[in-house]
Amino acid sequence: MGKVAIVTGGNQGLGLALVRGLCRELGENGVVYLAARDRGRGEQAVRELEGEGSSPRLELLNVRDDASVRQCADRLAERHGGVDIVISNAAARISPGVPNADQVRDFVDTNNHGTRRMIEAFGPRLRDGARFVVVASSFGTLASLDPRLHQRFNTEHMTQADVAKVMDAYVDAVEAGRATDEGWPDWINPPSKVGQVAAVRVMARDMAEEAAWRDIIINAACPGLVDTAASRPWFDDMTEALSPDQAAVDVLWLATLPVGTRRPYGELVQYRTVLPFIQEPTG
């Protein structure tokens, strides 16, 4: 039986490149689902890849909808008995010209609660040897936050519900105009990424014993700066940015780690190197 993979946010940018790469990696025996929330865009992306000789399957999935995520996981489990590769890649865009208070709620609901929904729905559907990857960024370490906030992300003891509560409290603080006083950074991207990586660490901790004997690997991935429509408004110089296909290479490496791999596990990985969530003191 071939492997079964799913990529959320698969109809454009990095997600499309990840679907393309998985189709090549898994070959004719594999099944790769391109998950998109919009049918028209999803069908267009599938046609594009079919024109290149790949054969992905479209799945409609909206990571902001509990039922949508759960039902998608149920469908794949019914068809295949589970999933071998999950890449949680769907992300909301934020705009420099829009006040944080006007976009933070949708941003966190997509990136953070969307990650949690994927963990809760697809975690129980992972087959032996599965690889679960959440696409985050290098901002997802505690070095991105004021030390006053570090204890809020104590992943040794948190639950997924705890992570969600921290992120909801952050949204409330931004909307109420008190985020700066609490120590949160001006850009809403880093707190969201820290929350994503925290959720991955909690999942990995909770599944550690089971994952060890079932050969399951769980990680977050930073693809680096990728030249996409979502990135361009935030960076004046994109000359060093990777194309989506270039950025996909290391994410796919993480998603296809060979049988028997033990490390990295429960980490944030960029360019195949672990970025420590907690920075060790120097001096």
List pLDDT tens digits, range 35-59. 999 999 999 999 999 999 999 999 9
Contact 152, 101 (CB under 8 A): no
State the Cα–Cα distance between residues 174 and 162, nearest whole angstrom: 19
Q: Which of 138, 136, 162 is nearest to 151 (CA)?
A: 162
Domains, in order of start, for the chain: 4-275 (3.40.50.720)
Query: pTM of the predicted model, to two decimals?
Result: 0.94
State the Cα–Cα distance between residues 229 and 231, nearest whole angstrom: 6
List pLDDT tens digits, range 238-261. 667 778 889 999 999 999 999 999
Least confident of 73-82, 90-99, 118-127, 202-211: 90-99
Q: Which residues of 199-215 are buried (b: 16+ CB within 10 A; e: fewer)?
A: bbbbbbbbbeeebeeeb
Q: What angle do CA 3, 212, 222 make, to 5 degrees?
A: 65
Q: At which residue do the structure tokens 């909690």 appear?
A: 202
- pLDDT computed for residue 231 by the predictor: 61
State the Cα–Cα distance between residues 162 and 144, nearest whole angstrom: 20
Q: What angle do CA 94, 100, 102 make, to 5 degrees?
A: 85
Residue 228 confidence (pLDDT) above 90: no
Q: Which of 9, 14, 12, 167 is nearest to 88 (CA)?
A: 9
- First-to-last C-alpha distance (Å) of the chain: 53
Q: What dihedral angle (degrees, nearest 10) is formed by the CA atoms of 166, 169, 113, 144?
A: -60
> Which pair of structure tokens corresponds to residue 170?
């952050």
- pLDDT computed for residue 237 by the predictor: 65
In percent, the amount of the chain with pLDDT more than 90 equals 87
Q: What is the mean pLDDT of the chain?
A: 93
